[in-house]
Amino acid sequence: DTEVTQTPKHLVMGMTNKKSLKCEQHMGHRAMYWYKQKAKKPPELMFVYSYEKLSINESVPSRFSPECPNSSLLNLHLHALQPEDSALYLCASSLAGGIQETQYFGPGTRLLVL
Amino acid sequence: QKEVEQNSGPLSVPEGAIASLNCTYSDRGSQSFFWYRQYSGKSPELIMSIYSNGDKEDGRFTAQLNKASQYVSLLIRDSQPSDSATYLCAVNEGNTGFQKLVFGTGTRLLVSP
């Protein structure tokens, strides 16, 4: 099973709302990633968790709050977002065994902030 | 921030032709390189990975790496209309147990029947 699942598929939220994105994998991967992708742009790395510890935060605004409750689950909590945060949010995972490994992407959550 | 550059295209080829996609990167220390395919509205899907100089073949796809020239390419033989997508070159900046991928802007490939 090489599947990374993400819920919800689509999300519409107002600027005062609080919502969460969820990502799950059962491949035994110990590195999990959040990316943001705007239309016609490449994915941009936001956060990396390795063995449930936050290893990289690419200077992401605090209105995005990641959480890794266990090795299979990754959340992204959203609060007070701006319309420019509307994008496709991608989760990915990899073994965390080295640089020569495959990173598997989930289908993404398409977020619209009104 | 290390840079990865691709021609944005679109690259138009007829069905059955060879499509050649190119990518250059700025970090001479990079050791792992990936090609992802992304259909419109979908997530990236890994096509090829390459770590050593030379060619690596998988079916209709061949990845080529030249570390001296800091150049990676992807050849798609016998191109099919279903190959029409954006192809993203990604370079791993990380050197520990997890990856830190830097993506190029992608090349849009159009294969006409």
Q: How far apart are CA B49 and CA A94, in angstroms?
A: 14
Whole-angstrom distance, CA of residue B109 vs CA of residue B62: 16
CA distance B80 to chain A (A): 22
Kindly tell me the burial class for residue B27, based on how many C-beta atoms sit within 10 Å of its own C-beta (0-12, 13-18, 19 or more).
middle
Query: A96 and B34: CB-CB below 8 Å?
Result: no
Q: Are A97 and A83 in contact (CB under 8 A)?
A: no
Q: What is the pLDDT of residue A92?
A: 96
Question: Nearest Cβ partner of B98 from A41, A96, A108?
Answer: A96
Residue B22, helix vs strand vs coil: strand
Distance CA B65, CA B74 (A): 9
- Is the Cβ pair A103, B97 closer than 8 Å? no
Nearest CB to B88 within list A42, A99, A108 = A42
The answer to whether residue B38 scores a pLDDT higher than 90 is yes
Residue with the larger pLDDT of the pair B110 and B93: B110
- Beta bridge pairs of residue B21: B74
Q: To the nearest whole angstrom, how far is the Cα of A105 from the nearest Cα of chain B?
A: 6
- The pLDDT assigned to A42 comes to 95
Distance from CA of B18 to the nearest CA of A (A): 24
Question: Any CB–CB contact under 8 A between A60 and chain B?
Answer: no
Is residue A113 within 8 A of residue A82, CB to CB? The reply is yes
pLDDT surpassing 90 at residue B24:
yes
Q: Which residues of chain A have pLDDT under 50?
A: none
CA distance B83 to B112: 10
Q: 3-state class of B10 per DSSP?
A: coil
Q: How confident is the model at residue B2 (pLDDT cuts 50, 70, 90)?
A: confident
Q: Which residues of A touch B3 (CB under 8 A)?
A: none
Among residues A35, A8, A38, the alpha carbon closest in space to that of A94 is found at A35
Chain B residues whose CB is inside 8 A of the A2 CB are none
Quote the minimal CA–CA distance from B7 to chain A in Å. Answer: 13
Q: Say whether residue A104 is in contact with chain B using an 8 A CB cutoff.
A: yes
pLDDT at B1 over 70: no
